[in-house]
Amino acid sequence: MTKTFAAQAASFAAAALLTVATFSATASIAGHTYRAASVAQLQSQPTALAATQYVTVVGRRTTRA
């Protein structure tokens, strides 16, 4: 191996930081989208007398070339 330990450690730390940042940003976006969909669903549903369970499905379509 031609890299020094310091260069390898810095590369590993940068990769770990980027991975954590990507996952936290994705979770934040998904959480916001879920909350918005859930609120919209609750506002559109009339108040039920019996216990009713609703499922909120959030999906995004991507275009493929």
* Long-range Cβ contacts of 48-52 (<8 Å, 24+ apart): none
Tally: H helices and E strands in the chain? 1, 0
- The pLDDT assigned to 51 comes to 62
pTM higher than 0.85, yes or no?
A: no
Provide φ and ψ at 58, rounded to 5°: -115, 125
Q: What is the pLDDT of residues 24-44, one digit of tens each?
A: 988 888 888 888 888 887 777
